[in-house]
A and B are shown apart, each in its own frame.
Chain A
Amino acid sequence: MSVIQNVPGLRRFPVGPLWLVLPAVALLAVFFLFPMGRLFLLGVQDPATGAFTGEHYSRVFDTSVYWRILAITFRIAILTALFSVLLGYPLALWLSRMDSRRQALIALLVLLPFWTSYLVKTFAWMILLGNRGVLNTLFMDVGLIERPLRLMYNEFGVIIGMVHAMMPLAVLTMLPVMNGIDQRLALAAGTMGASRSQRFWLVYFPLSVPGAAAAGLLAFVTSLGFFIVPAFLGGRGQTMLAQAIITQVQELVNWSFAAVLASLLVITALASIWVYNKLFGLSVISGAESDDLPKRTSLLRTGGQRLLRFMAWVSAPFDRFRSPDGITNKKVSIYPLLALAFLVAPILVVFPIAFTSSNSLQFPPPGYSLRWFEQYLTSPVWISATLRSFGVAFATAFFATVLGGLAALALARSKSLWNGPIFALILAPMVVPRIVIAVGLFYLMAQMGLVATDAGLVIGHTLLAIPYCFITIGAVLKNYDWRLNQAAETLGAGRFTIMRRITLPLLRGGVVSAGLFAFVTSFDELTIAIFISGGLKTTLPKQMWDDMFLQLNPTLAAVSVVVLAIVTVILLVAQKIQK
């Protein structure tokens, strides 16, 4: 026999399935890995000579301002992650106990704030927390207070805005883990004599910990790179690292400093992921199946078990207030409803303001009118920004779905050693702080002449949307029966026909929702737009950001209502299709 025939599959698959990831990997290599590397180098090079130097780092660390910013960033990110998980855990638990139809319905109330743009959320909190905002007005009218409380431009304002922004992410991360816990385990523990608190703390809770930790990690890493909330709800004392980076790039044009700060941000994010991976493994986050046993050191294990026994003992006296299943209170669950109200209600405040007849953000509005919608629809600036956002979002949805989908297809079919690194690369834009991606892209695109072009924006947004499309389509592919392709092949279908008649129709739900998620990601995206969209022609979020800095006005509320309506419709369509 000839040598060629001895190589399995060589003739029929001249290119293995892994080649399908090439477009995505190429895009990420050029516009993600390369600029990140450049950015890192900028921080250790002399700008004039290019020689390596530790000067920028030592200057950053010599300045107490940056130490303070670093400390503040950590403090806010940790507090945000902590509160998001603590407040989100009972809500996720409550949701996980519902039958799947009802859960899908109620989870919309978490998904909606999750996909609502941070700008709209922040704008809503400004209406609520301001000196003459809704809450202060309300409290004074009731006579609770005499003078307005200072609710924003301080740490309280930042934390409440950040927790509101991060809690949906935390809940949506914990929910699949909790859904996966076999509910009969607690019952089984009961038959062995475990009390209600023991069932929860010794059986249910340990199984839910990987989800809670993943939620904390994602909330922490995302918070690290945040700037919208602290910029509007914080004071001088709440300046975070991302804001400092923006200042360095846009106002001081000090690339070396910006690079140092960006590198610190990335290193912190990666270090926390590394720690998480050591403790729990990344499979919870990526959704990949893992057969690994938990890699916990025995010290941590025994310590943890002791702590859980202590918790069970402490909470035992409250057992009689609990329902027989030992986990949820079957009567009226007040807390989950309050938590849902906290997530949804603040956003709704933009509706009355959008229809106000007044020039101010006064609440309740003295009268109602459509003048602010008229203002929005007749303003060439707003309309051109809206149209541009739509165009960019459509293009992003197309490219991200195709590239992410092909990558998911390739990794589902490939058993290569490269799968792991490629998987990590494709998901990386989700965990590397957006501000760093944006600054790196700005540096690269300025040289390539892509700044202020639609192409530049589409590339940037596609980078961010690829992980979502990859995960969404990958999840559908997991349940795909590949023998159907073989069956079609034996019946005479060629590769293209199989794709068109079998694979795509069966994956349609996943592909369409991937496209919709990519659309929303781009439509709401501000960070990259700040740097890449250019001065005159902007996108909708960039225009909102600029206006929110100049002056708060009811037009912003009208725009928020439009954005909310678009995102809600898209979300409902995606939900409908996925069923």
Chain B
Amino acid sequence: MTTGTGESEIVLEGLSKRYGTFTALEPTSLSVKEGEFLTLLGPSGSGKTTLLQMISGLVDPSAGRLTVNGEDWTHRPVNQRGMGLVFQHYALFPHMTVAENVSFPLQMRKLPAADISAQVEETLRKVQLDRFSHRFPKELSGGQQQRVALARCFVFRPKIILMDEPLGALDKALREHMQLEIRRLHKEYGTTVIYVTHDQEEALVMSDRICVMNHAKVEQLGAPHQIYSDPETVFSATFIGHSNVLKGTREAADDNWATVRTANGTFSGRYTARDKATQDVALVVRPEQMRVGPAPSSEFEGLRGRLSELVYLGSETRLLLTLADGTNIMLRHDPAAGAMPSIGEEIEVHWLKSLARVVA
């Protein structure tokens, strides 16, 4: 996993967008380093596309400041930003061939014709479309159109590329292939990429850092492993990967430890929540951190429940447990730990205390 190498290139200070009384994005501050791959991840309506469009200049911010390399770009016209933008449905010009589409940004920069054709050819070769340069967009498959869109963006060597759910219209296999392709282009050109998606798996695969967004604001910002193992909010914990969530009230807490009283018992876990005022917290344990059986030592905590369902997924089998208060939790069956329990059976589960998280 490469992290940003240089200085902060893009800095947002309290950037926000309001349409009348509707808030598309609460004041947001964040910075992106040169060469970094940052993903804005969230459900639809979370403000991620609005944020991207304000960085691109397509949407004018209601308040706040955007600086790029120290210059104030808050209201700089779109066509003077020199950022590449890959659209959700590609927005290829239907009346131009593949080669004409890709040469368009170079023509706008008034490059000599010879340079243009050389660069277009080179870029098309990089995305394996050199044989299709005289086709029109509608004569290409979805994946090929996507590659044209990428080529049209990378061809003018922008230092910053913004991508708005660029793989949303592709099927799963093609999407996974294109994820790697985008990673490769990103590394090859050393471009800073801000990438919008609602697909958590895609975010984990591609990003240096992930910015989790919900309800028009940032929930958590961090490296993929950090967000997965150290979620700061219930939303982060449940949107990325699966989490077992036990809601309750906070009993005792210091800077990195807290105890939660829930309907199923009192548990403790690591605690770094930003908002220490609220008493409503939850214990979060990932399914793979739970094991069947009684807690072997005081470093573990556990609870009991009735096995309500078995879900067979090929590579693993999941156990669905219903607790006394009706809460469902999920864990993996560990073949090494013994025979498969049967439905209706009362079983005990446990986990290592230091892996559990208390979140706000």
Q: Residues on A close to B: CB < 8 A?
A: 1, 5-6, 8-12, 481, 483-484, 486-494, 497, 501-502, 505-506
Contact = CB atoms under 8 A, between A and B. Distances in A.
Contacts of A487: 85, 87, 91-93
B303 interface: no
Contacts of A6: 62-63
A489 B87 contact: no
Contact of B105 (A1, A481, A484, A492): A492
Contact of B58 (A486, A492, A493, A494): A486
A484 B93 contact: yes
Counting from the closest, the 5 A-B pairs by CB-CB distance are A492-B108, A487-B91, A491-B105, A490-B85, A489-B78
Contacts of A493: 79, 104, 108
Nearest to B152: A491
A414 to B, nearest CB: 16
A477 to B, nearest CB: 15
B241 interface: no
A312 B94 CA distance: 48
Interface of B: 17-19, 56-58, 60-64, 74-75, 77-79, 81-85, 87, 89, 91-95, 104-105, 108-109, 152, 156
A492 B78 CA distance: 8
Given A484-B94, A492-B156, 15 more contacts: A1-B63, A5-B62, A5-B74, A8-B19, A8-B60, A8-B62, A9-B60, A11-B75, A486-B78, A488-B93, A490-B81, A491-B105, A492-B105, A497-B108, A506-B95
A490 B95 contact: no
- Among B18, B79, B94: residue with most chain A CB under 10 A: B79
B93 A502 contact: yes
B19 A506 contact: no
A5 B75 CA distance: 9
Nearest to A10: B60
A493 B19 CA distance: 27
Chain A CB within 10 Å, residue with most, of B63, B74, B93: B93
Contacts, number: 76
Contacts of A12: 60, 75, 77
B342 to A, nearest CB: 47
A494 B79 contact: yes
Contacts of B109: 492
Nearest to A502: B93
A487 B87 CA distance: 8
A353 to B, nearest CB: 47
B160 to A, nearest CB: 11
A492 B91 CA distance: 15
Contacts of B60: 8-12
A10 to B, nearest CB: 8
B19 to A, nearest CB: 7
Contacts of B95: 505-506
B91 A489 contact: no
B28 to A, nearest CB: 14
Contacts of A1: 63-64
A393 B109 CA distance: 41
A490 B61 contact: no
B79 A489 contact: yes
Contacts of A494: 79
A491 B91 contact: no
Contacts of B93: 484, 487-488, 502, 506
Given A11-B75, A497-B108, A490 B62 contact: no
Given A1-B64, A8-B62, A490 B19 contact: no
A157 B156 CA distance: 71
A502 B84 CA distance: 18
A505 B96 CA distance: 10
18 contacts: A5-B74, A8-B18, A8-B19, A12-B60, A481-B91, A483-B87, A484-B94, A488-B93, A490-B83, A491-B104, A491-B105, A491-B108, A492-B82, A492-B108, A493-B108, A497-B108, A502-B93, A506-B95
